[in-house]
Amino acid sequence: MAACSKRLDKFIVSLRLLRNLQVQNERSISTSLCRWASENDSETPNFVPPSKPVIIDKTQAAATMRKFLSPEFIPPRQRTNPLKFSIERKDMIRRRKILNIPEFYAGSILAVSMADPNATGKINRFVGICIQRGGKGLGATFVLRNIINHQGVEICYELYNPRIQKIEVLKLEKRLDDNLMYLRDALPEYSTVDPDMKPVPFSLTGEVPLNELKVKMRPKPWSKRWERPKFNIQGIRFDLSLVPKQMEHAQKWAQPWQEYDMLKEYDTSKLEQQILSEVQQEMSK
Amino acid sequence: MALPRLSRSFTGLLVETSYLIHQRTFSVSPVAAAIQKLTRVRVVDNSSLGNTPYHRSPRVIHVYTKNGVGKVGDKVLLAIKGQKKKALIVGHKMPGECMTPRFDSNNVVLIEDNGNPTGTRIKVPIPAQLRKMEGDYSKVLAIASSFV
């Protein structure tokens, strides 16, 4: 190390001598020659590289500016080693770097292109409204529902399945509930999504628009008793399908003590912030 | 007073008092294991046998699998309009594996013994996994209009 530094010093001193010599030479030579000499000298000293071109990739959709953490990153309250969740998160981020998984909520309209060995052109495109987001970690799923030719179809997609080629958000919005399974018992107009729908432009900042639509239901019986308080559904027009007496009868199944149950509390705010900062750091690398 | 007690003794039957809004007076059990014997199915092709109205809906009377459960692509025997007819299952209400579609009704396409479809067109979307059975049901796939 000491020998290297000595050699460096000698090198720098020799460079300085050379520069001095060059300066003296320039003064002695005439102006035209001086110019030629100066041009020559400008090529040899420190090379200044040209500024890096700023590449704006318009093909990839811009990332959201909102502080949004996808719900499958938040680990459930379990007695497993947190190392498992952190390894899973690394894998999830690795997949997200390849495939852009946008921000969406239950009630948003998505188009998913999936690789299918059986389909013509190998790619199968399905457009639908997201009715449910479930699962944690790599097994996170979302269910898309649409009505095609008067037939209701639902497909449960895995977010991190390698068969998925593209996920586009055609309309970003939230609904009054997280789980829109009641759309199965609602009138078909609420589940129909035009497969050739153009993407509705949405802002990357500010609040996600909340659609306060209250859905009209088919006559009872429904697949589940949606009026019961355990489902806590805000987005159905119960006054059109149920009598107030039936609503009161449904309240018999209310469990008001659950709100005060301390063992069921799972405050994820700090965990969320921590994971969000971690994920943003990893994604920006 | 006695009537509610009687109704409780009948398993699966619900006698409801009439409300202002019309309700069915029998209970519908939730989705069982896909399609089995005595399930009511919906015929989705445009054959005359499947579309003419009858006082009884088409029902499955036999499922041609090792267990009696029929999934997409299995053959079943239906009882339609007092006759027996074979059919192919093209969609059921039970959720299957991930990335496969789940339909809101149990759909079925009428078929002859040699595998040829009875109808000439299927308007309802068909799951793409049926394309694997190119050899047996290629004619059914040919009459399908859309795949999901």
How distant is the alpha carbon of residue B68 from its chain centre? 14
Chains A and B form CB pairs within 8 A to the count of: 81
**Considering only residues 77 to 136 of chain B, which have any Cβ-Cβ distance to chain A shorter than 8 Å?**
91, 95, 98-105, 107, 123-125, 128-132
How does pLDDT run across B99-147, given as a tens digit for each residue?
A: 999 999 999 999 999 989 999 999 999 999 898 877 788 899 999 999 9
Rounded-to-integer distance, Cα A129 and Cα A106, Å = 8
Per-residue pLDDT reduced to its tens digit, A190-231: 999 999 999 999 888 888 999 999 999 999 899 999 999 999
What is the pTM assigned to this prediction?
Answer: 0.77
Q: What is the CATH number of domain A71-201?
A: 2.30.30.790
What average pLDDT does the structure give for chain A?
Answer: 85
A138 DSSP 8-state letter: G
Backbone angles phi, psi at A44, to 5 degrees: -75, -40
Name the residue facing A153 among B30, B125, B145 (closest C-beta): B125
Who among B20, B104, B130 is closest to A184 (CB)?
B104
CB within 8 Å of A235: residues ≥ 6 apart: A175, A176, A177, A180, A182, A213, A214, A215
Which residues of chain B lie closer than 8 angstroms to A157, CB-CB?
A: 98-99
Cβ neighbour number for residue A218 with a 10 Å cutoff: 12
B94 vs A57, higher pLDDT: B94
Partner-chain contact B19 A223, CB within 8 Å:
no
- Min Cα distance B113 → chain A (Å) is 25
- Does the beta-carbon distance from A156 to B102 stay under 8 Å? yes
Instruction: Check A221 against B147: CB less than 8 A apart.
Output: no
Contact residues on chain A for B103, CB-CB shorter than 8 A: 151-154
Confidence of residue B17 (pLDDT cuts 50, 70, 90): very low
Domain boundaries of chain A, sorted by first residue: 71-201
